[in-house]
Amino acid sequence: MVPHSAIILFLIPVVAVFLLGVDSAFAQQSTHNYIIHRIEIWALFYRLMVVAFVIGAVVMGSIAYVVWRFRESHPKNRGDITPARAGGAQH
């Protein structure tokens, strides 16, 4: 089963490319208003790549923080690893 976020990430560029082509298919344009679709598609690609790299950097930063914070050698994690006995303080 594919997660919903993967489907959405796949559909965003498909819809954007479709919408770039619809306006010229149903409307008559003058010669000075032509959109060069090749350039627009590459511009959209670069914008989406910037978004992907930013999201990737945030995710990798979060993973690095969690790994660093909850490592075994962290001072808060050096205590006794046996379970607390009945009546003992649980921190």
Q: How far is CA 54 from CA 12, 16, 62, 67, in A?
A: 17, 20, 12, 20
Q: Is the pLDDT of residue 70 over 80?
A: yes
**Does residue 63 carry a pLDDT above 90?**
yes
10-39 confidence digits (pLDDT tens): 777 776 667 666 555 555 556 555 677 888
Rounded to two decimals, what is the model's pTM? Answer: 0.46
